[in-house]
Amino acid sequence: MKEILRILERDARKTPQKIATMTGKPLSRVKEAIKKAEEERIIVKYKTVINWDKLEEEKVQALVEVKVVPQRDVGFDAIAERIYRFPEARSVYLVSGTYDLAVLVVGSTMQEVAGFVSQKLAPLESVQGTVTHFLLKRYKEDGEILGVEEQPKREPLMP
């Protein structure tokens, strides 16, 4: 199953037929493995990475460091759940270091992101402090290089 998942992780548009050809596994086995992975939430979502800059549509992203007080019996999970339920929070991670949670926030403007942090995130009871880092440019996302056109590889000219 791991081989099938690695193929789908690289390109979610690969059909079961193509995966069967690539792996040498029977089509029925590939379909069964994918269905099982979806049912067990091993495959959580099929995703497309979009370079919004090419469409000239402003999307403001910020990485917010959040220092929190863990709660008795649930640790960081309860506050993380409150945060990941906000639609502005695109990703939420428990991290090691000087802060506890890293939250990727997306909005239409810097003011929208700042408003989310100051009005929704920072006032939460367990939150001790936040530090917001606005992302200025994306070079690579989910393994895909953005903003650089692939140049055709040419053989060097020999004099």
In tens, the pLDDT along 100-132 reads 999 999 999 999 999 999 999 999 999 999 999
Determine, yes or no, domain membership for 59. yes
Asked whether 71 and 64 are in contact (CB, 8 A), the reply is no
Determine, yes or no, domain membership for 100. yes
Determine, yes or no, domain membership for 155. no
Q: How many CB atoms lie within 10 A of CB 124?
A: 15
Query: Looking at residue 150, what is its pLDDT?
Result: 56
Query: Looking at residue 84, what is its pLDDT?
Result: 97
- Does residue 21 sit in the same domain as residue 94? no
Q: What is the pTM of this model?
A: 0.76
In tens, the pLDDT along 42-57 reads 999 898 877 777 777 7
Determine, yes or no, domain membership for 98. yes
In terms of residue numbers, what domain contains 116?
55-136
| Residue 130 β-bridge partners | 66
In tens, the pLDDT along 136-159 reads 988 888 888 887 665 555 666 666
Question: Does 10 or 56 have the greater pLDDT score?
Answer: 10
Determine, yes or no, domain membership for 9. yes
